[in-house]
Amino acid sequence: MMSEGIMEHSDTAEQIIQCREVHKWFGTFHVLRGVDLTVRKGEVIVICGPSGSGKSTFIRCINRLEEHQKGTIVVDGIELTNDLRNIHAIQREIGMVFQQFNLFPHLKVIDNVTLAPIWVRRWSKDRAVKIAEQLLERVGIPEQAQKYPGQLSGGQQQRLAIARALAMQPKIMLFDEPTSALDPEMIKEVLDVMVELAKSGMTMIVVTHEMGFAKQVADRIYFFDDGNIVEYNTPEEFFLKPREDRTKKFLSQILTH
């Protein structure tokens, strides 16, 4: 009943990401083989699949860290082409969180967060600092503002990375295996922040194997293998009634250990 309501609302909501027949090659290796995926505003999408299946490459194409070679990607009405203006416009609207955090080690925690708003959005320093402080509060590390990233724990670093991405007030957040590099006891603190973000209505695409997270907040789960989507479904259906053999095999591998 509840889930139907959400689906119905999603159907009428604006399509914010449209990927059609996206292909990419690394040299002669065909990584993405015609991926079709549409995300509506406010949806949380989880992508899973074996390593090398192209899932990271796919989300990196959405904000142009990788270039797709065939097909179209349209983000918030702007098509990703070689036009630098389009690329920058799209990169400003998309926040990204990396597996290895990729924080700026030479800048203090607060400066990591305020850098892009000040230089890209041209906010005043006062305004940027005020919003950065709110964001650090939101991800639970307000007392770390004057430290350097290297002085934080892994979980704190990843939460800082989330705050840094949110500072640009993006419409979409991409997460590329955000918990894979973390010690087990720190995974929850990062997932808690992501769950809160999902519930606040942010559009999210999350590459992860955290199936608890997927069950809790995902609108749909996509299973990638061999450079394409094998199947997708709501979390309930996906875990209870996977249709494809490859999906069943993958689920049995990640859920039984």
Partner 1 sequence: MEPSDIPPPRVEVGVLGWLKKNLFSPWYNALLTIVALVFVVFVVRAVLRWALFSARWEVVTINIKVFMIGRYPASEAWRVIASLGIVLVLAALTWLFRKAKGRPIRRWLVLAWIASFPVIGILLRGFGEDNPFMPRVSAEVWSGLLLTLVLAIVGIVASFPIGVLMALGRRSRLPIIRVLCTIYIETIRGVPLISVLFMSQLMLPLFLPPQIRLATVMRALVGITLFSSAYTAENVRGGLAAVPRGQYEAAQAVGLNKALMMILIVLPQALRNVIPAIVGQFTALFKDTTLVVIVGLLELLGIGKAVTGQKQFIGLHQEVYFFVAVLFFICCYLMSYGSRRLEKKLGVGER
**Interface residues toward partner 1, by CB under 8 A:** 63-65, 84, 88, 91-92, 94-96, 98, 100, 102-106, 108, 115-116, 119-120, 147-151, 164-165, 167-168
We find the least distance from the C-beta atom of residue 136 to partner 1, in angstroms, to be 16
- Cα separation of 33 and 30, whole Å? 7
User: Is the Cβ of residue 48 or residue 116 nearer to partner 1 in the bound state?
Assistant: 116
Q: How far is the CB of 99 from partner 1 (least distance, A)?
A: 9
Are 173 and 94 spatial neighbours (Cβ–Cβ below 8 Å)? yes
Minimum distance from residue 203 beta carbon to partner 1 (Å): 16
Element (H, E) at 75: strand 70-75
Q: Write the CA distances from 28 to 33, 50, 57, 68, 212, integer angstroms.
A: 13, 21, 15, 14, 37
In this structure, the chain runs to a length of 257
Comparing CB distances to partner 1, the nearer of 131 and 211 is: 131
In terms of CB distance, is 53 or 144 closer to partner 1? 144
Q: How many H helices and E strands in the chain? A: 10, 10
- Between 86 and 216, CB nearer to partner 1: 86
Closer to partner 1 at the Cβ: 41 or 92? Answer: 92
Angle, alpha carbons 153-208-231 (nearest 5°): 175
Q: How far is the CB of 237 from partner 1 (least distance, A)?
A: 33
